[in-house]
Structure formats: structure tokens, C-alpha cells
Amino acid sequence: MIFDSINRRIFLKGSLLFGVFGFFGGFIGRLKKRAHAYLRPPGAIEEERFVRRCIRCFICGEICPNKAIKFAGIDGGIINLATPYIQPREQGCILCMKCTGACPTGALERIEDDMDEIVDKVRMGRAVVDKSICFSYNNRVCGFCYEACPLPDIALKLDVFARPVVTDRCVGCGLCERICIQVPQAIRVIARGDESRRRIYEQYKGS
């Protein structure tokens, strides 16, 4: 048998390998270098459980018809490495819900491709309007975000001056951020995990 060859030296070295690797993964692996939370694909379970459940099989990115799902690099720490996220300024989620049905481990919960269910269940994040640079808030007419929104008048409303107002039912798909003609974008999606950042953003940019 293969275990016959173990002597004390090999056992100690192996235990060292075991401990170093285990604790490296356990503690150093949890360090997160990124300041902002990732915007996860629709149907993602709560962030802490999501990164544990995901097996990094890349099926969600492969099935995405819009190529919106990208995969994190080492900049997010080992725990976030190769997990799916959406960078809405590059490509937004079109809410087709294909990825939710394709996930083999249930890191993305299955959601039917039905608008009512999407509005109820999908919570990727929430869009925030930067009123200081948004054209509609600065005496011009724009309305691109409203046109791009897959849930117009549900997630994004226009007030009497045709200015965009994000409601609580915004799912965070990011199509408005993708389409925004202002540089930098005047409307941006802040991921579900970043509530404090969203509040700060609304407080300083929102008025």
C-alpha cells in the first residue's frame, strides 16, 4: 500500500503542508482587497454563501447571450477569484434568466423568465442617479436610461420634468448604466452588498 512509505519525517512535512495550505486558505484566502462589492448575476444567493457555493465552472458566463457575465481576477482576493460578476458599464444584464437555470450548484437560484417573478426575486443591486452630472437634472433633455430600462415605470420613473427617478423595485440589471451618454456615467448600479456605499453616494451626489 501507498501509506507504507510514511515515516516520521514525511508525516511532519506533510502535516506542515496540510496546516500551511489549510490555514493559508482559511485566513489569507479571506482577505479582500477590493473596495466595492461585485455586482453578481441575477438570482445570486447572499454574497457570503454565494462565494462558498460557486464552483467556478463558468457555465453562467458561457450561457449568457449578452456576454455580460465576467469573471473576477485575483484583485478581489482568493475568495472572489473566478466568481461571476457583471460590469454594467461594459455590458448590462438583459434579464433573460438563462444563467439562473444553468447553475449546477444552486449558487444562482432558478428564476423563471417572467417579468413579475423577475421584479419580485431579482435583487442584484440598485441604480443611483448622480444628479450633479445627469443631463436631465441639468436643464437638458436626455432620457436614455428610461428608454433602456427593461422595467420602465416600475424600476425607473420619469418625474414631471422628465428626470429619472429610481424606485425601490429596481433590480440592478445595469442597462441604464450601460446606455448612459454622460462620461462618467451619471447613473450607476451599486451592488446589493454595498448598501453603505449607496447611501453615501445618494447623500453626496444625489442632491
Partner 1 sequence: MLKTIRRTVQILFLILIVALPVAGNYGALLSGKGQRDFYDVARDDSGTILAGLYHLIHRIVDPPFNPQETVPKIDQFKGALYSITILGFNITDHLSALIATVTSGVVYTPLLLALIIPLVFNILLGRAFCGWICPMGLILEGVAYIRWALNRFFNLLLPDIRLNSVYRYYLLGGGFLSALFGVPVLIFLLPYGLVSREIYNYIFYMAFGFGGVIIVGIILFDLVSDRGWCRYLCPAGAFFSLLSPLRIVRIRRDKKGCPDDCTVCTENCTMGLEPHRDRIGMGCDNCGNCITSCPAGTIKYRIGVGRA
Binding site for partner 1 (CB under 8 A): 1-3, 5-6, 10, 13-15, 17-27, 29-30, 48-49, 52-59, 61-67, 70-71, 73-74, 78-79, 81-82, 91-92, 94, 98, 102, 104-106, 175, 178-179
Nearest distance in Å: CB 143, partner 1: 15
Q: Between residues 158 and 179, which has the closer beta carbon with respect to partner 1?
A: 179
Q: Between residues 16 and 200, which has the closer beta carbon with respect to partner 1?
A: 16
Nearest distance in Å: CB 129, partner 1: 20
3-state DSSP of the chain: CHHHHCCHHHHHHHHHHHHHHHHHHHCHHHCCCCCCCCCCCCCECCHHHHHHHCCCCCHHHHHCCCCCEEECCHHHCHHHCCCEEECCCCCCCCCCCHHHHHCCCCCECCCCCCHHHHHHHCCCEEEEECCCCCHHHCCCCCCHHHHHCCCECCCEEECCCCCEEECCCCCCCCHHHHHCCCCCCCEEEEECCCHHHHHHHHHHHCC
Q: Between residues 99 and 186, which has the closer beta carbon with respect to partner 1?
A: 99
Nearest distance in Å: CB 193, partner 1: 16
Closest CA relative to residue 131, chosen from 95, 87, 182, 81: 182
Q: Between residues 57 and 119, which has the closer beta carbon with respect to partner 1?
A: 57
Nearest distance in Å: CB 49, partner 1: 6
Nearest distance in Å: CB 198, partner 1: 24
Q: Between residues 31 and 141, which has the closer beta carbon with respect to partner 1?
A: 31
